[in-house]
Chains A and B, each alone.
Chain A
């Protein structure tokens, strides 16, 4: 078992990192460790946990801003936001069960460090788009800050953008400030039975190109729909496209009516109201529709899970390639721009087929879940072009020249 440090203050984090720097001792950087299974395996003797840098230190609903320690549980933040009818608009997912762990263990630091977002990404952005300010300790053992507590800010470089999605490889965050927004008064989902992905993507494209302010659009092939906990969806025995509308009541009603009309040419229409609509999108957000023993220990199965971001219009072609080369279960989010895939029985987790097909589509694929031995060999993050790879190394060098923060988590030496 690695030895664990549990600092409670920024100064303690700084001292630990400074010591690690002086002795060139690499540290694993983690919150509660709920997303430890994502990324290349980092097997180090020491863990620096941010779990005790916890608590909301500032929340001003009228100013749409919240500041918290990175170790603050998402559940706690959600509870406070609920009391004021607000939300993190990027819909932070909970990948706990997907990764073989429990639900509800994630922290705000982990969400930001992974730049994770849910179905509303297409309308409201990802964590990066709501990340206003950061305080962190770099691999140089120095406390730095960037950004602030206001939305409109172009003062200096926006280091928050680099921290979001850097998986603890550039700095140990000690405080994060995020934008919050009013939660919608009402939510509804229009379901369209679409047997094939092509029809579904056309329907979603129509919806997303309409003035009806659609906040999410997904497609579930029949096996994915059958895994839903919503009886209507599970019993439909067909593939379903889902289009979500949110806002004030009268507006949601009017837009749903309009969408039902405009989408009826693609298939039979149904509608999910408040409770079921919320439930469906949390199933999609948390990737609970892929099946394949998701609740088993992540290392024990042969199934690999991929998160593939592509231009929406490329999704159909890419799906065709992947189905031809892999035994695969999949569903689409982001109007086709996000493919979630479970690949079965491939020694390389499906890496070769997926990466090769994506040379022509563009985009990037993250191997979210795979066995340790696969993660040790296959690139987990999407390989970068030579020029971008050089910039990535230079950025790592700028923040963590001695490679002491989560070294190798993203790429070799990064």
Chain B
């Protein structure tokens, strides 16, 4: 993975930059010792590592503004970092860059029941927001698997999803407002406690922008009332086709489950060996369907889903009768990643999305690729919205195996795009999928996206090297190219 060439001039000024940062953030907030920097060398994508030049841990928005202003003036790059759980290398440090950690921004600022929203600092974890309001019967809907650790600021940067987003939406659909600091140190507020924006939807474009547009310093999200009840079905199928058909028919019948997850045989076995959830080991595919809402509705829909499952050759159907049983159904799915981690020294998690009806075709081609690369693969799948998480099993200690796993992963993502899907459903592009962007976008598409980057950060000092395969200078991107000699409408006046 090639990162932008480090700036020798900046590296030579390291001591002076540390001194300047210490003037802004006194005490322990500036980290410059190698052994302490080591903790920041990677995020959740551990295959890529780089020691940052310096780490700074500010405590106030004013300090962030001062840091950015200083860096803007002295040409130093910034990598914002929340909890460091990104699976795409979004917080991978730069050799000549400052990693700006938001871990000290860990307070919930306001719980507003009248407006049904919570305002938190960006370092607050996703789950802490739910914890803050659940005693009163509310919760925050997006629930990425890393919710115990991942930060709400990171969720905004990545537009995180989770198992419930089919029904309740992604971060973008649950976010009301942010405060952010731009690269030149200016602080802006986008949105608030009201809905929608009067002008351009800047809040929408910042969501999922992977730390390239600004540093988020405050987040306001909607809280929802917890559904009265939730029950789940655990359904075993003799083939992934029948499981896929069942999913299509559930949605075709007008039912939008709170969650709908699929696992293939290798994933079922790994999970069962790890947590003993009682998964059917003879099934080729397993579906967990969760219905939530008023009791009478859930009871009726459980019956409808069961009937659809039976029509689609389900071998086994279990229906949860208690919260403990429902949790147990989920236990295997939620532990799927560590469970796969037990049966293989290393695994590489992919994140493509496909149109659902292409599932069995994609799984068949994936099996062929698995044979071709001689690497095993286990699949967990957000079945309702077509988001695939193939886990490629490999051993980093075997020479060449990581590269093989990466090639396998690229082939899977190219396959997702080929069938009408996308490279990443919820993990982000980061460095991991950066060089695959050309599979989905033309140069014109990518240039237009980069011009948005330029609108926020014209000097391209915020998290460079992520998302875009080729970095163009903003001045170059801004030029207007007139394609002359193509005039087909001569009646337009010419000057």
Q: Cβ of A264 < 8 Å from any Cβ of B?
A: no
Q: Cβ of A23 < 8 Å from any Cβ of B?
A: yes
Q: A394 near B456 (CB under 8 angstroms)? A: yes
A contact residues around B159 at 8 Å (CB): 154, 158
Picked from A16, A156, A212, A213, the residue with its CB within 8 Å of the CB of B449 is A156
Q: How large is the interface on A (under 10, 10 to 19, 20 to 34, 35 or more residues)?
A: 35 or more
A contact residues around B296 at 8 Å (CB): 250-251, 254
A contact residues around B255 at 8 Å (CB): 182
Q: Cβ of B324 < 8 Å from any Cβ of A?
A: no
Given contacts A251-B294, A392-B199, contact A401 B480 (CB under 8 A): yes
Picked from A128, A149, A399, the residue with its CB within 8 Å of the CB of B196 is A128
A16 to B297, CA, bound (A): 53
Give the residues from 188 to 203 in chain B that come closer than 8 angstroms, CB to CB, to chain A. Answer: 188-190, 192-202
Q: Cβ of A247 < 8 Å from any Cβ of B?
A: yes
Q: Cβ of B357 < 8 Å from any Cβ of A?
A: yes
Q: Cβ of B373 < 8 Å from any Cβ of A?
A: no
Q: Cβ of B437 < 8 Å from any Cβ of A?
A: yes
Given contacts A62-B251, A148-B421, contact A25 B493 (CB under 8 A): yes
Picked from B208, B297, B451, B482, the residue with its CB within 8 Å of the CB of A154 is B208
Q: Cβ of A242 < 8 Å from any Cβ of B?
A: no
A397 to B256, CA, bound (A): 41
A382 to B196, CA, bound (A): 12
Looking at chain B's contact residues, the main secondary structure is: loop
Q: Cβ of A363 < 8 Å from any Cβ of B?
A: yes
Q: Cβ of A369 < 8 Å from any Cβ of B?
A: no
A63 to B448, CA, bound (A): 29
Which interface residue of A151, A183, A334 has the most chain B CB atoms within 10 A? A151
A251 to B301, CA, bound (A): 10
A24 to B458, CA, bound (A): 25
Give the residues from 386 to 414 in chain A that come closer than 8 angstroms, CB to CB, to chain B. Answer: 387-388, 391-392, 394-395, 397-399, 401-402, 410-411, 414
B193, closest chain A residue (CB): A311
Q: B300 near A251 (CB under 8 angstroms)? A: yes
Chain B interface residues toward A at CB < 8 A:
112-116, 137-138, 158-159, 161, 165-166, 169-170, 172-173, 182, 186-190, 192-202, 204-205, 207-209, 225-228, 248-249, 251-252, 254-256, 293-297, 300-301, 353-357, 382, 385-387, 420-429, 433, 437, 440-442, 444-446, 448-449, 451-456, 458, 467, 478, 480-484, 486-489, 491-495
Q: A388 near B161 (CB under 8 angstroms)? A: no
Give the residues from 48 to 107 in chain A that come closer than 8 angstroms, CB to CB, to chain B. Answer: 60-65, 85
Q: Cβ of A19 < 8 Å from any Cβ of B?
A: yes
Given contacts A247-B297, A362-B194, A399-B451, contact A155 B115 (CB under 8 A): no
Would you give the shortest CB distance from B103 to chain A, in whole angstroms? Answer: 23
Given contacts A19-B492, A162-B205, contact A150 B195 (CB under 8 A): no
Q: B444 near A143 (CB under 8 angstroms)? A: yes
Q: B205 near A157 (CB under 8 angstroms)? A: yes
Given contacts A64-B251, A212-B294, A387-B187, contact A144 B420 (CB under 8 A): no
Q: A183 near B173 (CB under 8 angstroms)? A: no
Given contacts A362-B194, A394-B456, contact A387 B445 (CB under 8 A): no
Q: Cβ of A234 < 8 Å from any Cβ of B?
A: no
Q: B353 near A388 (CB under 8 angstroms)? A: no
Which interface residue of A157, A205, A212, A392 has the most chain B CB atoms within 10 A? A157
Would you give the shortest CB distance from B210 to chain A, in whole angstroms? Answer: 8
Given contacts A158-B172, A311-B115, contact A384 B201 (CB under 8 A): no
A181 to B227, CA, bound (A): 20
Q: B196 near A165 (CB under 8 angstroms)? A: yes
Given contacts A16-B489, A401-B480, contact A385 B188 (CB under 8 A): yes
Q: A157 near B209 (CB under 8 angstroms)? A: yes
B contact residues around A385 at 8 Å (CB): 188-189
Q: A148 near B207 (CB under 8 angstroms)? A: no
Which one of A134-142, A266-274, A278-286, A344-352 is at the interface? A134-142
A393, closest chain B residue (CB): B455
Which one of A118-126, A222-230, A291-299 is at the interface? A118-126
Q: Cβ of A312 < 8 Å from any Cβ of B?
A: yes
B contact residues around A144 at 8 Å (CB): 442, 444-445, 448
Would you give the shortest CB distance from B208 to chain A, in whole angstroms? Answer: 5
B contact residues around A18 at 8 Å (CB): 482-483, 486
Q: Cβ of A15 < 8 Å from any Cβ of B?
A: yes
Q: Cβ of A248 < 8 Å from any Cβ of B?
A: yes
Give the residues from 157 to 188 in chain A that come closer than 8 angstroms, CB to CB, to chain B. Answer: 157-159, 161-162, 164-166, 170, 181-183, 185
Picked from A138, A183, A363, A411, the residue with its CB within 8 Å of the CB of B199 is A411
Given contacts A125-B173, A129-B169, contact A22 B448 (CB under 8 A): no
Q: B165 near A121 (CB under 8 angstroms)? A: no
Would you give the shortest CB distance from A47 to chain B, in whole angstroms? Answer: 12
Q: Cβ of A341 < 8 Å from any Cβ of B?
A: no
Q: A362 near B198 (CB under 8 angstroms)? A: no
Q: B115 near A313 (CB under 8 angstroms)? A: yes
Q: Cβ of A260 < 8 Å from any Cβ of B?
A: no
A154 to B159, CA, bound (A): 7
A contact residues around B208 at 8 Å (CB): 154, 157-158
Q: B193 near A183 (CB under 8 angstroms)? A: no
Q: B489 near A19 (CB under 8 angstroms)? A: yes
Q: B492 near A23 (CB under 8 angstroms)? A: yes
A296 to B72, CA, bound (A): 55
A228 to B458, CA, bound (A): 53
A410 to B440, CA, bound (A): 32
Q: B354 near A150 (CB under 8 angstroms)? A: yes
A100 to B226, CA, bound (A): 43
A373 to B356, CA, bound (A): 52
Q: B254 near A125 (CB under 8 angstroms)? A: no
A contact residues around B209 at 8 Å (CB): 157
Given contacts A121-B195, A248-B297, contact A159 B200 (CB under 8 A): no
A226 to B345, CA, bound (A): 71
Q: Pick 23 A–B contacts, CB within 8 A, sort by A.
A: A22-B483, A22-B487, A22-B494, A62-B357, A115-B196, A128-B196, A141-B483, A148-B440, A149-B420, A151-B165, A154-B158, A155-B424, A157-B205, A164-B201, A210-B225, A211-B226, A254-B294, A364-B196, A381-B199, A382-B198, A387-B187, A388-B202, A391-B188
Q: Cβ of A200 < 8 Å from any Cβ of B?
A: no
Given contacts A157-B452, A158-B172, A366-B198, 5 further A-B contacts (CB under 8 A): A156-B437, A311-B194, A387-B187, A388-B202, A392-B200
Q: A148 near B420 (CB under 8 angstroms)? A: yes
A185 to B297, CA, bound (A): 12
A224 to B15, CA, bound (A): 69
Q: Nearest 5 A-B pairs (CB), nearest first?
A: A161-B204, A364-B198, A251-B297, A182-B254, A394-B455
A18 to B484, CA, bound (A): 8
